[in-house]
Structure 1
Amino acid sequence: MMIDQVNNIAKAVPTWCLYILCALPAPYFFYLGVTGGLGVEPIKALEHELGEIALQLLIAGLCITPLRKHLGINLIKFRRAIGLLAFFYVTLHLLVWLVLDVQILSQIWADILKRPYITVGMLGFVLMIPLAITSNNLSIRKLGVQWRKLHKLTYAIALLGALHFIMLSKGLQLEPIIYMTSVLGLLALRWQPKRQLQRS
């Protein structure tokens, strides 16, 4: 009964509400950065907050299929919005780094090439671009089966995002490990039915 209620609420909530609610933290954190609410290093803190929200959204997107398969909770209508919001936050995260942090073009390319955690993060962003471009009904109709194959890049993107977080953290920290464990666990849940089919 509870699952039916959740599904009914999900059907009643328009997707645009999710866009508005999830986009609100961006101007809030920019406001905090300008007014001194992000500490002594506001640019670094802003980068971190935007990147962490992006990773949380990627993980939320990975939750949708397991929730439907294992619990019967159908949030599939929000998956595209969650993916686009994740791209939005990754783009903001990158822009803060490019425009406010590094600023010098030659230094940007040097950092991408020489710092592995930036290389990993940039690779994840590049992989997100074709997914964002094709996140529309026209692309789904034109690409057909290839669209599903293309959007499986989400798995690699989530892994790269979690790995980026681990690599940029100083020392062994619990929070990035929790994110990586969450990604790996959700991917394991997604692939488990296929293994069972092969055995049977």
Structure 2
Amino acid sequence: METRLASRRAKPAAFALALLPLGWMVWLALSGGLGAEPVAGAVRETGVWALRFLLLALAVTPLRRLTGLSGLARFRRMIGLFAFFYAVVHLSTYVGIDQFFDWAAVWKDIVKRPYITVGMGAFLVLTALAATSTDAMVRRLGGRRWRTMHKAVFAAGAAGCLHYVMLVKGWQTAPLVYAAVFAALLGVRWLPRVRFQVMATKKAQPQS
């Protein structure tokens, strides 16, 4: 498995797979499969796929630790950039097709609708992370500063989940599932650190 992850074909294959949701959504749009309100359906589906890719990017490190497959780390940047890509498609669909580039209406929505405010916050964070994702930016910022900055991906994940929960009417299952997955990913990442700190504190305490 590690050999397959390290092969030359792995990244192009992953890239092609990541484009499949876009192709599927285009097909749905052309065939009338987006429901009675196709524009709203397109906005919703592109947003959900942005959130899925964001959660998948956050899952890479826990999966690498659990499976021992270090080659998974090669795909983290690509997955994160696809999260940004689908977020761009999501926002573009809303601004261009739903609002017909009526910037006054868009700004009014951002200011007056909390779920759009939160969603825009998530998008701005993803934009900053995508803009600084290159090797050149890592060198320019320095490894430590870059890693600190890119911890903002957790803020983007939290905002994305909150955006989805606030968007739907009532307590629906799907947004809560995504929020639970995000919480689980946080737990998998941070619980070992908390446990290590507790054990270190106990060892540092003088024996009575």
In the superposition, the TM-score normalised over structure 2's length comes to 0.89
Q: Tell me the percent identity.
A: 39
| 3-state SS in 2 of match to 1:70 | helix
Alignment length, in residue pairs? 195
Mapping for residues 94-109 of structure 1, pairs under 5 Å: 94-103=91-100, 104-109=102-107
1:172 corresponding residue in structure 2? 171
Separation of aligned partners in 2, 1:31 and 1:178: 26
Separation of aligned partners in 2, 1:52 and 1:25: 11
Report Cα offsets for 1:169-190 as digits up to 9, x if no partner: 1110111000000001101111
Aligned residue identity for 1:18? A
The answer to whether the 8 Å contact 2:4/2:10 transfers is no
- The answer to whether the aligner puts 1:58 opposite 2:57 as a matched pair is no
Gaps of 5+ in 2: 200-208
The answer to whether the 8 Å contact 2:32/2:38 transfers is yes
- The answer to whether the aligner puts 1:8 opposite 2:3 as a matched pair is yes
1:78 corresponding residue in structure 2? 75
- The answer to whether the aligner puts 1:34 opposite 2:30 as a matched pair is yes
RCO comparison, higher one (Cα < 8 Å, 6+):
1
1:130 corresponding residue in structure 2? 128
| 3-state SS in 2 of match to 1:171 | coil
Aligned residue identity for 1:193? P
Aligned residue identity for 1:126? L
Gaps of 5+ in 1: none
| 3-state SS in 1 of match to 2:33 | coil
In the superposition, the TM-score normalised over structure 1's length comes to 0.93
Separation of aligned partners in 1, 2:73 and 2:145: 19
- The answer to whether the aligner puts 1:43 opposite 2:39 as a matched pair is yes
Aligned residue identity for 1:195? V
The answer to whether the 8 Å contact 2:58/2:185 transfers is yes
